[in-house]
A and B are shown apart, each in its own frame.
Chain A
């Protein structure tokens, strides 16, 4: 009988640990801001000659293969655009002219977004870890209940 209580207590502790955290009421402050980041590319040959009218292709972080924007450099080899800051990461800008070209990688924004799940683990892995913890708790409770009976 006492052993069953140990099991119930162990399960209760585990359940509390896995439960979602309760919202905390506090006098918090919510701040928001918006900003437009303009990126300007200047393309020149090794000699310093501007790559006037060079073709420009911009790729956003969420799609490596589909151009997000295309355009042409001006007579000074300059091209500017405003990236979508809701897509933080590396923006790739390719510039080509007359058989010469290059690609530049521009970080925009910062931080990383959490993967599905917690701490990068999948739901399956979390489930397995939880099951192992539960089983360990049950086993420990049963062990101590047997010792008391002995």
Chain B
């Protein structure tokens, strides 16, 4: 039994992967800012930033030549050295890559022509200032700049090694001081990976202030957390930094060996997107800047209550209606309920909700607030579920064991409940999972009509704001819930039905399909 449950769960994994592909395809429907050339639209670096945040600069599924800090630095250096048309923007790029590029730029200086060497050294001068290594005036002469950079590498190459950087940041995080902060500032972007990792919502405010100050100084972007910041501000800043780091990791980290091989798959649009979702980083809402996950957590209870209550109501009504209708099929009750439910089945949920909202007394409050939404949502489910129940019951009533029960002279009530209904419930339980998508869709409409502040209500606001992050999160949450619900009802079915249980037991001797 356990084995069956585990196998069923395992089988849900490829399904979830397929779901992720479908949802990824949906995200690609959002317009690429590069392609929408409308006059007056932001352009240049802002567009680049927007594209990178959505990984639009990466290939979709396979990245055979993933870029990292080494390749970026080499390319930028080549442009600066050649003094070609792109040398100005390349010099900027070199400064943006910053300290992380030095271990690759400085050793390569030697191999350059003297003129080229001077150009690169001069291009790096603002960086020296940013790293608090020297004042710009001291390096005004190209010769002085070249001398400064070659000396720096000869003297301090060890400080730029990975263990040294890790140690410096660890010390700062444990016992922060001005001196240690300036140590890390001197490493510039080289320390970013450790610095961003050390930022967590639980880090103490003073350290967090130091860390964000260093990161802001090195990248010339983002926010600095003040020591007296509120908890929400801190959480938001940390989320912002980790999201930025996630999109820009390879700008400051070199890929080699195994990490390069993995990057072929992970440094892609789909890879990044999936990794972010699996690690629970769903981004920040466009509507109010709140992290998606905490917003989802805040809104989900209302929706889940709505769905759970509606399910409860519709089941308690649907099972007897369907069972009794099938038992006395063709009778007055069957005909009446069938006709009524058929009509109910055709009425869209939004019309039911709208009519109920009008019928409601003005300003419902308190516990009664949920009554009408639940009724509206249950109405749609009731029609579907009772028809399933009726069909299942019709099937069972025909079975031999029911006839046997009659033949033994059993009371009608006992035959109905013990022999027929119990068996007729099984198929309904299995298909109940299939009803979940309709239920979720209905919940969106019902929440919108009644103004209940659940997930559906927020989704409508997100649609108005074109908030892709929230919409994807909701679609994903719904799809995962439905998949797991289907698995659960499947396992429940095999656990409840002795025939299936036996079948599984017999099959377990053989190899799994």
To the question of whether A and B form a pair in one complex, the answer is no
